[in-house]
Amino acid sequence: MAGHQQQPGRIAGWRFDGVHDAAGGREPKLITEGTPSFLHGWAPGAKDVAIVAKRNGSPIYNLYSVSVKDNKETALTSNTRGHVDGPEYSPDGKYIYYNANASGTMQIWRMRPDGSGKEQLTFDEYHSWFPHISPDGKWMVFISFPVDIDPDAHPSYKDVMLRLMPLTQPGAPRVIAYLYGGQGTLNAPSWSPDSRYIAFVSNSKKAE
């Protein structure tokens, strides 16, 4: 199944069996009934997806895993304030990485796929969003915003940093790029399959 937004805030998709494709006229299957819902990542094995969503009339976004077989949603967070975003499964499926501002600033966290074992990974003054794990599981890249923005926000057109942090050995995040960007720079999974390259969007140079 490949994610495809059929209606505003709902997640749908097509199932590919190696023979049929989108041109075959198959109708997408609706995965989430509730709105709004924002897709962020597939679990290894393709049985679940991780989403950010508002549910039950709450104005606060929380993280959910959703079964693509029966559409069952499992709440991974139950926040009543603050913001969480960017859930992405590790390649081995042992963790979901995400960003949250439970500590006051937006930091990178991880948890088990059932929502247990929440663990903060970054501890600095910057507001960090959208962690992406390299396919070999050794590195995490994320975007960091300056200290003067709203901890709930990830605006466009700001001076931001791309930072890299090791996951299999001790080490602090290090800056790998300074650029003008923000929202849209690193929202989607960005590693090349061989873990050698990272794709991102920069607004540092004006279009000719």
pLDDT tens digits, 77-113: 999 999 999 999 999 999 999 999 999 999 999 999 9
Answer whether residue 17 shows pLDDT above 50.
Answer: no
pLDDT of 207: 53
Average pLDDT score, the chain? 89
Evaluate if residue 9 carries a pLDDT over 80.
no
Task: Decide if 56 contacts 8 (C-beta within 8 A).
Answer: no
**How many Cβ atoms sit within 10 Å of the Cβ of residue 196?**
10
User: What's the chain look like in SS3?
Assistant: CEEECCCCCCCEEECCCCCCCHHHCCCCEECCCCCCEEEEEECCCCCEEEEEECCCCCCCCEEEEEECCCCCEEECCCCCCCCEEEEEECCCCCCEEEEECCCCCCEEEEECCCCCCCEECCCCCCEEEEEEECCCCCEEEEEEECCCCCCCCCCCCEEEEEEEEECCCCCCCEEEEEEEECCCCCCCCCECCCCCCECCCCCCCCCC
pLDDT tier at 55, thresholds 50, 70, 90: very high
From the list 1, 29, 4, the residue with the least C-alpha distance to 17 is 1
Residue 1 has pLDDT above 80, yes or no: no
The pTM is what? Answer: 0.88
